[in-house]
Amino acid sequence: MENAVVLIVGAGPSGLAMAGCLTQHSIPYVILEREDCYASLWKKRTYDRLGLHLAKEFCFLPHKTLPPDAPTFMPKHYFLRYVDEYVSEFKINPRYHRSVESAFFDEAEKKWRIEANNTLEGSMEVYSAEFLVVATGENCEGFIPSLPGLDSFPGDILHSNRYKSGSKYKSKDVLVVGCGNSGMEIAYDLVDHGARTSIVIRSPLHVLTKELVHRGMSLLKYIPVYMVDAVITMLARLEYGDLTKYGIYKPKRGPFANKTATGRSPVIDVGTIKKIQDGEIEVVSDISSINKNNVVLKNGIEKKFDAIVFATGYRSTANKWLKDYKYALNGEGMPKNSFPEHWKGEKGLYCAGLSRRGLFGVSMDAQAIANDINKLTSGIN
Ligand SMILES: Cc1cc2nc3c(=O)[nH]c(=O)nc-3n(C[C@H](O)[C@H](O)[C@H](O)COP(=O)(O)OP(=O)(O)OC[C@H]3O[C@@H](n4cnc5c(N)ncnc54)[C@H](O)[C@@H]3O)c2cc1C
Ligand SMILES: *[C@@H]1O[C@H](CO)[C@@H](O)[C@H](O)[C@H]1NC(C)=O
Ligand SMILES: *[C@@H]1O[C@H](CO)[C@@H](O)[C@H](O)[C@H]1NC(C)=O
C-alpha cells in the first residue's frame, strides 16, 4: 500500500490543473490515469476538426497564461500544445494505465482507500490518501439512448466520442441524432465529406455564432443576464433570420439565463445553419423506431440510412468506482452541492470539473480545492 497526501483520479485538464495548483502550494500528490496519456478526451475521443468553442480568455489552466498571440478561438492542436507545456512546466507525472476501480473512506484510519487496476501488469494497487479529488470528467462515457429496433440496424452506429471525420461516409446516408455542439458540427463535417446528412432536432434550441457567445459572456460582466439575452437573441435573429421553417424553434428561456441556471451552453454554430438553409442538411423529427436500415420518424415518415451518429451527450461514471460518493456527489455522479460550493465534499473528498462550466470551471475548481487543502494541511506540515 502506498500513502499519498492527495490522490487525484484522472489526468484530463481538471487533474492537471489540480496538480498545477497543488505544486504552487508545495503539496505532494499522486495522479492516476486509466489511459496511456494525459488529456485523453482531447487526444483520443474528439473529432478531428474540433476547435475550442469558447474564446481564449475562458480556456486556460491556473498559473499559466496562454501565449499572447494565441488565436481567440484556438484549434485543438494549439490548446494541446499549451497543455503539453503545462505538464512539463509543473513537472506533472501521471501514473498511466491505472484504472481506479474502487475508493471508500476508511472510518478507522480516517483516510481514503483507493484501488487501481494496473492494466499493463494486470495487478491491483492500493493507495491510502488524506484527500481524494475526483477529476474523471462529466464526459467520461458516451450516452446512447435505447430506441426500439436499434439492434436490427445493420450499419455503423457510433457515439460522437468515436467519430473522427466524415471521410468514410462519402455518398452515404448518415443520420446525426442530437443537436448540441457535437451533433451540429459533426453534421457539418459529414456534408463537407460528401455524405447525405440528416439531423434529428427534437427540442427547441438557441443557435449563436461563437462571436455572439463571446460577446454575451463579456457583457455578462457588466449587465444583467436578461439584458444580455435580449441583445444577443436579437443579434442572432439578424444573423440567421427565422429558423422555424427549418424545424428549429427558440426556447422560452434565454441562452445565457439557461446557461447560468443549468450550465448548458447555447449551440455554437460552425456553419451548419447555412448548410441547413441551403438544403444540404435535412432536419428531421424525432425517431420513433428503427427497422433494419429504415428509420421511422415520429411524424410517420420513413428514411433509409447507412450510419447513425449519436451525439446524445455524456455521463459521469464516478459513482461506479467511488463507493462513498455521497460525501460529494449525487446519484448521477455529479456534484450534490450547488454552484459555487459544488467542489467541496466531506471527509476530504473533492470534485473538479463537474460544474458544466468548461475549462473556466475546471480552473476555478482546482484553485478552490487546492486552497482548501492548503488551509487544512498548513497546520500539520
Ligand atoms: C467535443 C467536446 C468539446 C469541448 N469543447 C470545449 C471548449 O471549447 N471549451 C471548454 O472550456 N470546454 C470544452 N469541453 C468540455 C471539456 O470536457 C472540458 O473542457 C475538459 O476536457 C474537462 O476536463 P476534465 O479533466 O474534467 O475531464 P476529461 O477531459 O474527460 O478527463 C478525465 C480523465 O479521467 C480519466 N478517467 C476517467 N475515469 C477514470 C478512472 N476510473 N480511473 C482513472 N482515470 C480515469 C479519463 O481517461 C480522462 O483522461 C468540450 C468537451 C467535448 C466532449
Ligand atoms: C485489470 O485490467 C486488465 C487489463 O485490462 C483486465 O484484463 C482485468 O480483468 C482487470 N482486473 C480487474 C480486477 O478489474
Ligand atoms: C436549458 O437547459 C436544460 C438542461 O440542461 C435543457 O434541457 C433545456 O432544453 C435548456 N433550455 C433552454 C431554454 O435552452
Q: Domains, the chain, ranges and CATH? A: 2-140+316-380 (3.50.50.60), 143-310 (3.50.50.60)
Q: Indicate if ligand 2 lies below 6 Å from the C-beta of 117.
A: yes
Ligand 1: which of 14, 79, 138, 139 to mutate, judged by most atoms within 8 Å of the beta carbon? Answer: 139
**What's the half-sphere exposure (Cβ side, CA atoms, 13 Å) at 106?**
16
Ligand 2: which of 32, 35, 117, 320 to mutate, judged by most atoms within 8 Å of the beta carbon? Answer: 117
Q: Which three cell numbers stand for residue 17?
A: 490543473
265 alpha carbon – ligand 3 mean position (Å): 9
Atom of ligand 1 nearest to the CA of 35: 47
219 alpha carbon – ligand 3 mean position (Å): 21
For atom 38 of ligand 1, the residue with the nearest CA is: 136
The dihedral region occupied by 12, where left means phi > 0, alpha psi between -120 and 50, and beta the remainder, is beta
Per 3-state DSSP, the chain is made up of helix, strand and coil in percentages (nearest 5) of 35, 25, 40
Ligand 3: which of 260, 262, 334, 339 to mutate, judged by most atoms within 8 Å of the beta carbon? Answer: 262
pLDDT in tens, 43-93: 999 999 999 988 999 999 999 999 999 999 999 999 999 999 999 999 999
Q: Of 158, 194, 193, 197, which is closest to residue 308 (Cα–Cα)?
A: 158
- Which residues contact residue 331 at a Cβ distance below 8 angstroms, ignoring those fewer than 6 apart? 319
Ordered per-residue pLDDT tens for the chain, 381 residues:
999 999 999 999 999 999 999 999 999 999 999 999 999 999 999 999 999 988 999 999 999 999 999 999 999 999 999 999 999 999 999 999 999 999 999 999 999 999 999 999 999 999 999 999 999 999 999 999 999 999 999 999 999 999 999 999 999 999 999 999 999 999 999 999 999 999 999 889 999 999 999 999 999 999 999 999 999 999 999 999 999 999 999 999 999 999 888 777 889 999 999 999 999 999 999 999 999 999 999 999 999 999 999 999 999 999 999 999 999 999 999 999 999 999 999 999 999 999 999 999 999 999 999 999 999 998 654
Q: Give residue for cell 489526468.
A: 11
Cα–Cα distance between 365 and 342 in angstroms, integer? Answer: 9
> Are 74 and 52 contacting, i.e. CB atoms less than 8 angstroms apart?
yes
The ligand placed nearest to the CA atom of residue 207 is 3
**What's the half-sphere exposure (Cβ side, CA atoms, 13 Å) at 65?**
4
Return the exposure string of 193-209: e unless at least 16 CB atoms fall within 10 Å of the residue's CB, then b.
Answer: bebbbbbbbeeebbbbb
154 alpha carbon – ligand 1 mean position (Å): 31
Instruction: Give the helix ranges, DSSP H, for the chain.
Output: 13-24, 40-44, 76-89, 181-192, 210-219, 225-240, 255-262, 272-277, 318-321, 358-378
Q: Indicate if ligand 2 lies below 6 Å from the C-beta of 101.
A: yes
pLDDT in tens, 7-51: 999 999 999 999 999 999 999 999 999 999 999 999 999 999 999
Residue 161 CA from chain centroid, whole number: 10
Q: Which three cell numbers stand for residue 93?
A: 507525472
Atom of ligand 3 nearest to the CA of 206: 14
257 alpha carbon – ligand 3 mean position (Å): 10
